[in-house]
Amino acid sequence: MWWRGCWKSCFVLALHLVAASAQGELFDEDLTLRPLRDGRLEARFSFTTLLKGASPRDPESLRQDDEAQHYTLFPLALGQILREHAVTELHLTLNAGKWNYDHWGYPDEPGVGTGAELWAWMGDTSLTSVDQRWQGLRQSLAGLFCASLGHLDDQRTTSPTLTFQPEGSLPNFTYPHQLRHATLPSEHVCTENLTPFLKLLPCKSLSGIAHLLNPHRVFDADWHGLGVHVRYRERIGVEVRLAFQAVLDPVRYSHDGRRDWSLRSVFDRIVEKACPVARSSKVQVELPGETSYTLSPGPTDVVNDMATYELTSAQEALDVAMKWPGENSFVYPDTSQVPPLTDISVRRNLKGASQAEARLTIEVTNNLPVQVKSGYLETMPWHLQFYLHTLRAYIDDSQRDDLVTILSYAPPVPHSRPALLQAVLTLPPRSTLRLTMDVSKPFLRYTEHPPDAQRGWDLPPAVLVPFAFGEDDSPEFETSASHEANSTWTQEREPYPRRPSRARRIYTPVMLVDLATPDFSMPYNVIIMSCTLIALIFGSVFNLLTRRFVVVRVDSDPATPDVNSVGGVADSVGGTGAAKKTS
């Protein structure tokens, strides 16, 4: 009897595989591990499902019933949301921590802004407005990922098209596409978000590299975040990429301050078996430039300082380990000595002790020996309002307002709309551009404050996109840049081409603004006291205006005090000289 059951399960599995391939659903997963120069380890999990031949839903067809959705590998819960709201491209990231660009370089997943960030490109038809579908989309995603994405409302939504260009292609509808973008920096990623995230994977966390996503460890990392990226690739299909990125600190985990790591030591798990439905499943390790390390087990192959382990179903458990045998304990690099790993470094802060106004300062340092042009985006909720006329640019205390070009600005509307500022900064070689701007802090109604009002409001990160290097692509840039790169040990192995095809975004850390709070226990008292004052003045004024003036005799005649008390009556208007009458 047992062989029949075995045969049956084999048949079902085979049927699944056939079905998957027949419908053109491909699932690839890979894990990239990158030792960083400050002893940390960047781990990037990427799970890509491709729905071959599919295309995003045309919003014109929202009136009609949608075609039936039968997926085997593609996440149905997400697919339904995408079809329901006719979303062409979607990017959701939920991150916690501050990405240290100077030491960690550009992240493998570019969306590293703290908190939640959601942006979507949608076809714009008159049938249902983009804003309605955007609202539906964020609420559906909030439900799917157990995150407070419902707070990404109109007060946070902008359309910064210059910075957030579609990463895939846009289908050729007969009408234009529109971008909606919102960030919620106070949202934190947690286990409750990871669980629904893992449920979208075909193998859950049972097998494959997703097995390594141990919540106890990944949420203990110095930086961690998950992302969902949906894009349409023309003539290929709709691609859903689920990504998890973490910066782990093996030095912190080790007892003796060594940076040696293994999958077991950082995730407390190893890859037990490959995900059976994955077309490809691999673990990649970026090899550090120095030679004093050992990597075990031996990789399947090594290309360009990138060691690759192909996971196959036949393989036994995999535990990649990297050791520095000659090193007793890790010595942190001197932060003042090592050059930053990114082209530009950004600092942004808010100065001023007052709760009514402040000064915003952004310092952008160009680390390259050539001029860099960079896009600059602020999507600021109305909780901080810019005085754009006070925007000044300085280089070494000399004013250089010509280096800032404002491309677009939409002023904020209190209680409803955020500000959107898009500008281009020209950064001279090896210099720091300092922007200052006065800002005002509004006063909120008492119902608009969050429950922990004294904490302040998290403000979303600014985004910088360096896009033009050198003066008109001068050839000397290449030589000087590569020369520059040789002087540091990580830059030469940077996995990116020096001039990437797509401009890379740099997120500044989020800011906290301290807004003045009213006394939350006071509503009744204020209503009572203000109304009392108004009633008092109103009453007194009308008392004076309506009652007639009379002259009374106050000299004390004990015999007839009452009779004489009203000595005479005088109308204040008509009775001139009334006092004389009474005397």
Using CB under 8 A as the binding rule, the residues of this chain from 509 to 568 that contact another protein are 516-519, 522-523, 526-527, 529-530, 533-534, 536-538, 540-555, 567
Can residue 574 be called a binding residue for another protein (CB under 8 A)?
yes
DSSP 402: G
Can residue 569 be called a binding residue for another protein (CB under 8 A)?
yes
Minimum Å gap between C-beta 423 and another protein is 12
Closer to another protein at the Cβ: 77 or 413? Answer: 413
Can residue 381 be called a binding residue for another protein (CB under 8 A)?
no
Closer to another protein at the Cβ: 15 or 512? Answer: 512
Which range touches another protein (CB under 8 A), out of 59-67, 97-105, 313-321, 573-581?
573-581
Can residue 576 be called a binding residue for another protein (CB under 8 A)?
yes
Residues 447-466 binding another protein (CB under 8 A) are 447
Helix axes 191-199, 130-145, angle to 10 degrees: 100
Residue (of 79, 537, 36, 63) closest to 249 by Cα position: 36
Can residue 385 be called a binding residue for another protein (CB under 8 A)?
yes
Minimum Å gap between C-beta 436 and another protein is 15
Closer to another protein at the Cβ: 555 or 562? Answer: 555
Joined together, the tokens standing for residue 506 give 């740099």
Pairing of strands 463-469, 372-380: antiparallel
What is the SS3 assignment for 64-85?
Answer: CCCCCCCCCCCCHHHHHHHHHC
Minimum Å gap between C-beta 175 and another protein is 25
DSSP 505: P
Can residue 18 be called a binding residue for another protein (CB under 8 A)?
no
Minimum Å gap between C-beta 49 and another protein is 42
Among 12, 302, 406, 512, binds another protein (CB under 8 A): 406
Can residue 570 be called a binding residue for another protein (CB under 8 A)?
yes
Which range touches another protein (CB under 8 A), out of 20-28, 334-342, 379-387, 471-479?
379-387
Among 11, 332, 387, 496, binds another protein (CB under 8 A): 387
Minimum Å gap between C-beta 235 and another protein is 41
Closer to another protein at the Cβ: 252 or 580? Answer: 580
Residues 336-375 binding another protein (CB under 8 A) are 353-357
Closer to another protein at the Cβ: 86 or 420? Answer: 420
Whose structure tokens read 């001279």?
Answer: 428
As a whole number of angstroms, the distance between CA 341 and CA 81 comes to: 39
As a whole number of angstroms, the distance between CA 247 and CA 36 comes to: 9
Minimum Å gap between C-beta 387 and another protein is 5
Minimum Å gap between C-beta 359 and another protein is 11
Closer to another protein at the Cβ: 483 or 580? Answer: 580
Whose structure tokens read 């009308």?
Answer: 542
- Between the alpha carbon of residue 276 and those of residues 203, 209, 312, the distances in Å are 8, 12, 8
Can residue 77 be called a binding residue for another protein (CB under 8 A)?
no
Pairing of strands 301-303, 223-233: unpaired
Among 4, 63, 235, 445, binds another protein (CB under 8 A): 445
DSSP 271: B
As a whole number of angstroms, the distance between CA 162 and CA 465 comes to: 10
Closer to another protein at the Cβ: 291 or 546? Answer: 546
Closer to another protein at the Cβ: 92 or 421? Answer: 421
Burial 202-231 (b: 16+ CB within 10 A, else e): bbebebbbbbbbeeebbbbbbbbbbbbbbb
Can residue 76 be called a binding residue for another protein (CB under 8 A)?
no
Closer to another protein at the Cβ: 344 or 391? Answer: 391
Closer to another protein at the Cβ: 255 or 547? Answer: 547
Whose structure tokens read 């819960």?
Answer: 77
At CB < 8 A and 24+ separation, what contacts does 291-296 make? Answer: 292/324, 292/325, 292/326, 292/327, 293/322, 293/323, 293/324, 294/322, 294/323, 294/324, 294/325, 295/320, 295/321, 295/322, 296/320, 296/321, 296/323
Cis before 297 (ω within 30): yes
Closer to another protein at the Cβ: 306 or 410? Answer: 410
Among 18, 413, 512, 563, binds another protein (CB under 8 A): 413
Closer to another protein at the Cβ: 343 or 378? Answer: 378
Can residue 235 be called a binding residue for another protein (CB under 8 A)?
no
Minimum Å gap between C-beta 403 and another protein is 17
Closer to another protein at the Cβ: 76 or 529? Answer: 529
Among 444, 462, 464, 465, binds another protein (CB under 8 A): 444
Rg of the chain over Cα atoms, rounded to whole angstroms, equals 33
Residues 52-71 binding another protein (CB under 8 A) are none
As a whole number of angstroms, the distance between CA 82 and CA 60 comes to: 14
Closer to another protein at the Cβ: 136 or 518? Answer: 518
Closer to another protein at the Cβ: 338 or 388? Answer: 388
Binding-site size for another protein (CB under 8 A) equals 73
Taking every pair of Cα atoms in the chain, the longest distance, rounded to a whole number of angstroms, is 130
Residues 24-43 binding another protein (CB under 8 A) are none
Report the 10 Å Cβ neighbour count for 324. 18
Report the 10 Å Cβ neighbour count for 583. 9
Rounded-to-10 torsion of CA 254, 257, 263, 267 = 50
Among 136, 414, 428, 509, binds another protein (CB under 8 A): 414
- Between the alpha carbon of residue 193 and those of residues 228, 279, 311, the distances in Å are 12, 26, 27
Which range touches another protein (CB under 8 A), out of 24-32, 188-196, 304-312, 569-577?
569-577
Among 415, 430, 455, 502, binds another protein (CB under 8 A): 415
Joined together, the tokens standing for residue 474 give 């001068």
Which range touches another protein (CB under 8 A), out of 96-104, 148-156, 439-447, 471-479?
439-447
Order the strands of the 237-248 sheet from edge to edge.
157-158, 177-184, 115-123, 87-96, 223-233, 237-248, 41-52, 25-35, 280-286, 306-310, 301-303
